[in-house]
Structure 1
Amino acid sequence: MSHQPDNPVPLFGSGPRRSLNPTAAGIVLGTELRRMRAERRLTATRAATLINASVSKVSRLERAESPPDPRDIEILADAYGVNPAERAQLRSLTRRAREPEWFDRYTDCAASWMQRLIALESDAVYYCAYEARLAPGLLQTPEYARQIISDGLRLSEGDRVEQRVLLRQERQRRFFGQPAPPVARFLLDESVLHRQVGTPAVMAGQLRKLLEYSDRPGVTLLVVPLNSSVVSNHGSMAHLRFASGGPPAMVFIEGDDDAMYYVKPDEVERRVEVMLRLSHEAAVPWRDSRAILLDALKRYEDG
């Protein structure tokens, strides 16, 4: 049962070490390269000259926005004077970062700006999401997801819709189906429960799933009521924290057709403060949230 105390979770911290997936390996590689360059007091321009590339390429490499070239990594390792252990780590991260991701077969169905979140969410040790418009993607039923995709993207029924539904189901399986899933906290604006997606039966099925997940160990689902005094300017936010040795903590903010990722500690902390206020000042406790969900379910079942 999820009646855990509503205590703030530290922004940063350690946890069990996990093997890095390709996206995480690329992020850690970029972070290490940026740290090594800064410690040697070398500019990005100097690093770009070393690998005969543009400054933007160095920037993309350090932000893990493009696949690393092993030759570039070797040249930079020489220039930074790394020790044998550091060189071995850089090589290992480079190899891993160049491997395909599990969702590559869904590339046509996943917006490029969503792919980093999809790659990292199941590897987090702590995941907190706030949703103001729709049920969280990690908690959507196939029927609810299918309706959103068909209506929102104006796609006709067929492979294009079903592939997107399958992607969401695979995300859920990888997130919740692993031996030690992330500790998850979902903050759901009450308006989501009033916004009918599809038929009453579709909504009833979605609410049953939300109730089911609210009872899972390690999962907390809280409702932010309509009369809350705490308001977010963003309709969809997620805070991810990783085990020691993994990527830095980050905040993902989704827009209408793009997203922003924040990893600098001050930027993360500023946005997580909003989520903590939503969680601990605005959201009602677990039992009250469950009662709100049950009331909404009854409305749709009666309708």
Structure 2
Amino acid sequence: MPPAVPSPILRRRRLGTELRRLREAAGLTGDQVIERIGWASASKLSRLENGRSRPDPDDVAVLLALYGADAELQTDLLTIAREAGDVRGWRKSYPVMTQQQLGWAEIEAGCAEIREYNPVLVPGLLQTPGYARLRIVSADRAAETAGDPQAGEGPETEVRARLARQSLLDRVDGPRYTAVLEEAALGERAGPVEVRREQLAKLCELAMLPNVTLRLLQRTTVIGEFYLPPTAFSLYRFADPQDPETLAIEGGFIDVMSHDANTVNHYKVVFEWLCSAALSATDTVSWLFEETGRLTGTATPSTAAHGAAAAPAQRRPSGRLTER
């Protein structure tokens, strides 16, 4: 099961932000710092402050002493520096991981809240193996056609890595998770009936978790003054309030991360608009059960609604899934 602590990558970003803040508070330029501590490379400090290199706690201790950090802050930041260097130990917490999935796992670790929207897909943390496999294989085919030499390498490993990330939601101390789903992501273009039926059943199951909220945007729903979200995005808020909120914009073949508060706030507003336009969490669960029954051919709307209401009582108090 993934660790409940931030990933080393996130720790590096936090450490870099703190080191830069302390340097500026001390009234020192990067060149002045390099000169005073005698480092041979001017880029070493830049890489530390930008979170691009694995920090040496001894180097961090030298910087903290130069900046005049108090004893308590030094202890906290040296702990963060050690966590930032333990990449191998952190990755061992996952049974399987790929480079593509690692980036998402790193940012999800240590989250207190995750909010996601995708106009065409079910978000990765909610996908079944069948749905995920279709998405990965179809994307690989597009990459192969484009001449990507890494395309088509180990789709099953990629599926298992995506499933390893999903246990984050099933954890007792897991983050609060909210997703706005598009009805189109579950329609006929998403896959064969059996894949869609399995995905719908999975969403019904996940919606019963106490930390998970799902909201559905139906095809005919109008958002505000006919606003159209231009892209898929995710918002991350971390357990440590000093770690900056993060925005991830998913573009299919390229992804963008931002910690800029102004940019993050724009997407937070859009997410609130999406939630306001979407079905309520209760109505979404009823829709999911009804649609699952329709594809199964064994349930009516009335029994689906009854199942949605009864399902919470059938779950264990811990909120953990009985089967993944």
TM-score (norm 2): 0.76
| Map of 2:217 onto structure 1 | 224
Partner of residue 205 from structure 1, selected from 186, 190, 198: 198
Q: Which has the larger radius of gyration?
A: 2
CA offsets 1:130-185 (integer angstroms, 9 cap, x no match): 111211111111111122112211389x9812211111111111x12322111110
| Map of 2:25 onto structure 1 | 39
The answer on whether the counterparts of 1:214 and 1:221 sit within 8 Å (CA) in structure 2 is yes
Q: Which residue identity lines up with residue 167 of structure 1 in the other structure? A: A
Q: Which residue identity lines up with residue 115 of structure 1 in the other structure? A: L
- Give the 3 Å change call, closer, same or farther, for CA 44–295 of structure 1 in structure 2: farther
| Map of 1:251 onto structure 2 | 247
**Runs of at least 5 residues in structure 1 that lack an aligned partner in the other structure:** 1-17
CA offsets 1:254-288 (integer angstroms, 9 cap, x no match): 123222222232222122111111112x2121233
Instruction: Establish whether residue 73 from structure 1 lines up as the match of residue 60 from structure 2.
Output: yes
Secondary structure, counterpart of 1:153 in structure 2: helix
Q: Which residue identity lines up with residue 283 of structure 2 in the other structure? A: D
Hey, what's the Cα distance between the residues in 2 that align with 1:186 and 1:253?
15
Q: Which residue identity lines up with residue 270 of structure 1 in the other structure? A: H
Secondary structure, counterpart of 2:213 in structure 1: strand
| Map of 2:147 onto structure 1 | none
Deviation of 1:19 (Å):
4.6
- What is the count of residue pairs matched by the alignment? 278
Secondary structure, counterpart of 2:206 in structure 1: helix
Hey, what's the Cα distance between the residues in 2 that align with 1:40 and 1:160?
50
The answer on whether the counterparts of 1:204 and 1:300 sit within 8 Å (CA) in structure 2 is yes
- Give the 3 Å change call, closer, same or farther, for CA 74–203 of structure 1 in structure 2: same
The answer on whether the counterparts of 2:96 and 2:164 sit within 8 Å (CA) in structure 1 is no
Hey, what's the Cα distance between the residues in 1 that align with 2:27 and 2:176?
39
Q: Which residue identity lines up with residue 144 of structure 1 in the other structure? A: Y
Does 1 or 2 have the higher relative contact order (CA < 8 Å, sep 6+)? 1
Instruction: Establish whether residue 142 from structure 1 lines up as the match of residue 129 from structure 2.
Output: yes
The answer on whether the counterparts of 1:138 and 1:172 sit within 8 Å (CA) in structure 2 is yes
Hey, what's the Cα distance between the residues in 2 that align with 1:44 and 1:123?
31
Indicate the larger mover: 158-167 or 126-135. 158-167
CA offsets 1:80-139 (integer angstroms, 9 cap, x no match): 1223333222322111111023268856x333xx63431231421111111112111111
Q: Which residue identity lines up with residue 212 of structure 1 in the other structure? A: E
Deviation of 1:40 (Å):
1.6
Secondary structure, counterpart of 1:196 in structure 2: helix
**Runs of at least 5 residues in structure 2 that lack an aligned partner in the other structure:** 145-149, 298-324
| Map of 1:162 onto structure 2 | 156
Deviation of 1:299 (Å):
5.1
TM-score (norm 1): 0.80
Partner of residue 102 from structure 1, selected from 91, 112, 125: 91
Q: How high is the sequence identity, in percent, across the aligned residues?
A: 28
Hey, what's the Cα distance between the residues in 2 that align with 1:297 and 1:77?
57
User: CA RMSD, aligned part only?
Assistant: 2.8
- Give the 3 Å change call, closer, same or farther, for CA 294–32 of structure 1 in structure 2: same
| Map of 1:171 onto structure 2 | 165
| Map of 2:235 onto structure 1 | 239
Deviation of 1:20 (Å):
4.2
Deviation of 1:35 (Å):
1.4
Instruction: Establish whether residue 90 from structure 1 lines up as the match of residue 86 from structure 2.
Output: no
The answer on whether the counterparts of 1:143 and 1:202 sit within 8 Å (CA) in structure 2 is yes
Hey, what's the Cα distance between the residues in 2 that align with 1:292 and 1:216?
17
Q: Which residue identity lines up with residue 216 of structure 1 in the other structure? A: L
